[in-house]
Structure 1
Amino acid sequence: MSVREGSTAASTSLDPDLAQVRRSLVELERAVGRLQAHHAETLGVRRLVSDVRRLIEDLDEIGDLPPAPAGAAAETRLHYVSDTPYPPDLWRDCDDEGLGGHR
């Protein structure tokens, strides 16, 4: 594995979120490298190496991201759905989609 802290457009971006993700991926790459060096070469370790490499490549492909539209955070609202059961009458004239109808 190779640490690529200084490569590509993502690292030259001024976006602090991208920079934080890059630092985290570099640390993860180092940790997985230590794991690979000190333990048997298993399928799980090879997958980790491959996954970290892919994540770094994906980050490299992102480049500079446009800023989020103003008020985007305010538009994202959670909608809570009650855990209480629905009344049986609600489903009276409905078919079980995918299971075949009862008519």
Structure 2
Amino acid sequence: MSVRESGATTSTQLDPDLPQVRRALVELERAVSRLQAHHAETLGVRRLVSDVRRLVEDLDELGDLPPAPAGATAETRLHYVSDTPYPPDLWRDCDDEGLGGHR
């Protein structure tokens, strides 16, 4: 398990926070390696090792993507849902959750 430094120049140009996150992951890898030495192959340690590996892979993937433009946000669309009741025939063969059937 190792944080790759490949693409560091490109990722620094794209996002100045990536190198700081990489350094934090290096420290996390070291700490998890020390835990692994103390606690051998317990389930918790195996999960931590797997989680750190996943973080490294996700960060590497982020380094390949251009950042979102400044001020960009996800477009929010509101959909109006009418308050008019549905036709009773729609619910004919349905039960109320937790209350049982109404006939």
Fold-level similarity (TM above 0.5): yes
Alignment of structure 1 residues 36-47 onto 2, 5 Å = 36-47=36-47
Shift of 1:93: 4.6
Shift of 1:54: 1.5
List gaps (5 residues or longer) in structure 2: 75-82, 87-93, 97-101
Asked which structure has the greater CA Rg, the reply is: 2
Q: TM-score normalised to the size of structure 2?
A: 0.58
Fraction of identical pairs, as percent: 73
Q: Which residue of 1 aligns with 2:22?
A: 22
Alignment of structure 1 residues 27-66 onto 2, 5 Å = 27-66=27-66
Deviating above 3 A after TM superposition, structure 1's stretches of 4 or more consecutive aligned residues are 91-94, 99-103
Q: TM-score normalised to the size of structure 1?
A: 0.58
State which drifts further: 64-73 or 47-56. Answer: 64-73
In the aligned structure 2, how far is the partner of 1:48 from the partner of 1:67? 28
Q: Which residue of 2 aligns with 1:4?
A: 3
Letter in structure 2 aligned against 1:4: V
Q: Any idea what the Cα deviations from partners look like across 1:27-74, whole Å, max 9, x if unmatched? A: 11111011111224210101101110111112112234324323337x
List gaps (5 residues or longer) in structure 1: 76-90
In the aligned structure 1, how far is the partner of 2:41 from the partner of 2:24? 24
